[in-house]
Structure 1
Amino acid sequence: MANGYRPEVIQRAFVDFVGSRLHPFWSLTAPKLRLLARYTLSEDLIALQFETNQAFRQQVSDWQGGQYVNISVLIDGIYHQRSYSLVGLAHQPLWWHDDIDTKARKNRSNLTVTIAIKPQGLVSDYLTKRMPIGTILNSSVPSGSFTLAQALLAKQSTSIDKHAAADMLKQSAPLLFIAGGSGITPMLGLITQALQSGHQVTLLHYNRTPLLDNQWQQLAAMYPAFTYHLINTEDANSYLAGTRHISTDSLLALDLPLADTQIFACGSHALLAGLHTATNKITLPNGKKLRDHVTVENFGNILPDFYGEQTHDKAEKPGKQTVYLRARQQQFSSDTTLLVAAEKAGIRLTHGCRQGICQLCRCHKISGVVKNIQTGKMSSDGDEFIQTCINVAMTDIVLDV
């Protein structure tokens, strides 16, 4: 059988199983991370640096700014999966230097990844405070669409001339990055990549205390096209346009050519809802709203207030709907995301990241209409798979759960 099926004499999964018993960091196929060090960035943000195994490096030689990894953490005999943004870019040093970095530089093959976490919740608290150095975690490879490439796609989808849109983002197109709290973590890689590509970049970061100030100073010294505003929400002297929150006035105060500016935003739902309201009030020369230029990454599980009279038709606002769980013979009322509504009713549904990323909450919808709170897309009334963490019921629905 020259061109036919050739079974493996020794299955790779078997080799992985045996190898993991000899050394848990070994694998032919499974990406893994080993904790090297922790760094305190502020009182509420901790960076974790990981070494990658050979399987990770074989599948990934680079990643884009703004991407994330899924990691699986074993706590008290239960695996928990979470998604965390990568800080910085591959093969580019971050702003700290110590023995770990010196050791890593001696062995260039040991690609490292860094994430930054706010110590809150079961998994984050364990990662930042209790997990021993040297602990090995199962990981995904970097993925995600919160990238500069996504901005190009957004421009293309709202422009008649796609070639002009592509040219616009190649070099000098202005980019505005807006972050709140720990939403700053994916911004470092994104901003560095944008500056290296020749973009004009402006950063707005809303936080209780200044964060990564030295890093932003270094970037501003290296790239004259970089401007940043660190808004201390407890210090009126740092406010933009006299307000501690994102607003239409604060966006206009930046004096950017908004018709050509693409906006990246990452933070709490409160910040994103405020940005949605502010950008909806700004009409561009082509008749479109500035909100059409916004690319969003978000955290948390609270349904954002995107159903106000100014942003959506009242008919789109979800009321109290009944969700039937066919396999469990249970039901509950929902006017928020299906996952949150189930938890309020004392019903536990499978979930992971709570951000629409990891797919662990994906389930089978038998009937009814739901709406994706991230994209605004309405589902059909029929049979399909949905994610409970990012969908709200617009009618009574039946889930095969």
Structure 2
Amino acid sequence: MKNTTNMRKGTVPMPTGYRPEFIQSAFIDFISTRLHPFWSLTTPKLRLVAKHTLSDDLVALQFEINNAFKQQSDGWQGGAHINLSIAIDGILHQRSYSLVGLPHQTLWWTNGNSRDKKLQRQTLTIAIKPQGLVSNYLINQAALSTIFDSSIPSGDFTLEQISVNQQINSVIKNTEIKNSVIKELAPILCIAGGSGITPMLGLVKQALQHGHKVTLVHYNRTSLSSSPLQEYWQQLATTYPSFTYYLINTEDASTYLTSTRHLSAASLLALNLPLADTQIFACGSQALLKGLYHAASEINLPNNHSLRDNIIIENFGYAVPDLNLSDATKKTANLEKHTVYLRARQRQFDSSGTLLVDAEQAGLRMNYGCRQGICQMCRCNKVSGVVKNVQTGKISGDSFESIQTCINVAMTDVVLDI
């Protein structure tokens, strides 16, 4: 039967519930950023509002966040980081910086008045050392009210990684571990060197709030006895009896855990922790991380358990702790080939080595920088599939997470959001 619906010739019926966007958000964004560079519907931006000296070699920078940042991020976990884009002499640089504290947490060096609390709800803070081109610029040259593009907070140097790591290990060893026990009862050891203390500021407090027993060891070249950092740790120790901290001045033998200033197996054993059950978070220089992995390999645990499996490192600013690129190549030489799908491009390639190299060999161009796992320029989102970090040996979960293509290999078929 012929359709007698009254329609003008050539028209297409409008889908139910469809509302056309007569003015594109990108156009509004273009106009708004011309009116004020801090306004944006789509690009997270930060405006520098304050600088605070935390110690002789650590400065905190406080940023106001724009509406796009608020809408795209629902806060962050302790230990998370952001990627800042900084233009210096016409060249755009991108650097990763750990966030200080937790969302809406009044920073301990402020007066705690109502103005500070209101400002804290609209800001985030990083802490950096005055070294390197970008960090020196931020501390010494960037004027207050300077605006920077930013990513939203991300990273796997968080409490959530405890359950991921231990569940993966339990699968490998054919054992069962209850998630609730992992999250609530695992003792935590935080080891930091110098400015590697930054992600610990939020991670430690969040762990204590969740009921973990936490031990902190901070190696530094200067004394922290009268710094705002010392005040913060003392406040936490007073509030949480389950928190213990050691501030190691590498120039003062009276502060050493053992007879040496260096991190060693004896140092770990001197803490009197149940190491087999302790989750270790570490952030610091290449030498510190290498020393930690070496010390962990010297400690014998029951049931052939390796202490190295308990270590989570934040290494976005540091090189490989105890491997080099030739080692990584050897470790990927005999891996089985898997298919990697680039979802946004609707392309795929076979991979038995690092994702970045194999994509390039298949004629696919991907973002990269240092190609050593340091600069974060190759970081992307993994939608599904399991990958292995060739630097640390860490095996990922099968779900959505952020990875670096230059240092990860596919253990199953993988889908990347590229």
Same fold per TM (> 0.5)? yes
The aligned residue for residue 91 of structure 1 is: 104
Aligned partner (choices 112, 117, 121) of residue 132 of structure 2 = 121
Aligned partner (choices 86, 101, 117) of residue 105 of structure 1 = 117
C-alpha change, 1:194 and 1:210, in structure 2 (3 Å) is farther
The aligned residue for residue 188 of structure 2 is: 175
The aligned residue for residue 298 of structure 1 is: 315
Aligned-residue offset at 1:173:
2.0
Amino acid at match of 2:369: H
Amino acid at match of 1:285: P
CA RMSD for the aligned pairs? 3.2
The aligned residue for residue 60 of structure 1 is: 73
The aligned residue for residue 361 of structure 2 is: none
Pairing 1:218-257 to 2, within 5 Å after superposition: 218-257=235-274
C-alpha change, 1:147 and 1:104, in structure 2 (3 Å) is same
C-alpha change, 1:162 and 1:46, in structure 2 (3 Å) is farther
Conserved 8 A contact 2:106-2:117: no
Give distance in 1, aligned partners of 2:160 and 2:297. Answer: 24
Amino acid at match of 2:187: P
Give distance in 1, aligned partners of 2:85 and 2:127. Answer: 16
Aligned-residue offset at 1:257:
0.9
The aligned residue for residue 143 of structure 1 is: 154
The aligned residue for residue 214 of structure 1 is: 231
Aligned partner (choices 273, 286, 293) of residue 276 of structure 1 = 293
The aligned residue for residue 302 of structure 2 is: 285
Give distance in 1, aligned partners of 2:319 and 2:157. Answer: 20
Aligned-residue offset at 1:290:
0.7
Aligned-residue offset at 1:2:
1.8
Aligned partner (choices 156, 161, 168) of residue 167 of structure 2 = 156
The aligned residue for residue 333 of structure 1 is: none
Aligned-residue offset at 1:197:
0.4
C-alpha change, 1:371 and 1:222, in structure 2 (3 Å) is closer
C-alpha change, 1:72 and 1:286, in structure 2 (3 Å) is same
Show structure 1 runs of 5+ residues with no match. Answer: 319-337, 340-348, 363-369, 378-384, 393-401
Partner-residue secondary structure (3-state), 1:256 = coil
Aligned-residue offset at 1:351:
2.5
Aligned-residue offset at 1:299:
4.7
The aligned residue for residue 334 of structure 1 is: none
Aligned-residue offset at 1:123:
0.7
Q: TM-score, normalised by structure 1?
A: 0.77
The aligned residue for residue 49 of structure 2 is: 36
Conserved 8 A contact 2:191-2:281: yes
Partner-residue secondary structure (3-state), 2:302 = coil
C-alpha change, 1:162 and 1:187, in structure 2 (3 Å) is farther
The list of structure 1 runs, each at least 4 consecutive aligned residues, that deviate by more than 6 angstroms after superposition, is: 312-315
Partner-residue secondary structure (3-state), 1:155 = helix
The aligned residue for residue 195 of structure 1 is: 208
C-alpha change, 1:78 and 1:56, in structure 2 (3 Å) is same
Give distance in 1, aligned partners of 2:329 and 2:18. Answer: 58
Calculate percent identity across the aligned residue pairs: 56
Show structure 2 runs of 5+ residues with no match. Answer: 1-13, 334-355, 358-366, 381-387, 396-402, 410-418
The aligned residue for residue 27 of structure 2 is: 14
Write out per-residue CA displacement over residues 202-253 of structure 1, whole angstroms, 9 at most, x where no aligned residue: 0011111244111111100000000011111111100012121111111011
The aligned residue for residue 131 of structure 1 is: 142
C-alpha change, 1:253 and 1:314, in structure 2 (3 Å) is farther
Partner-residue secondary structure (3-state), 1:158 = helix
Give distance in 1, aligned partners of 2:270 and 2:296. Answer: 13
Tell whether 2:367 aligns with 1:358: no
Tell whether 2:27 aligns with 1:47: no
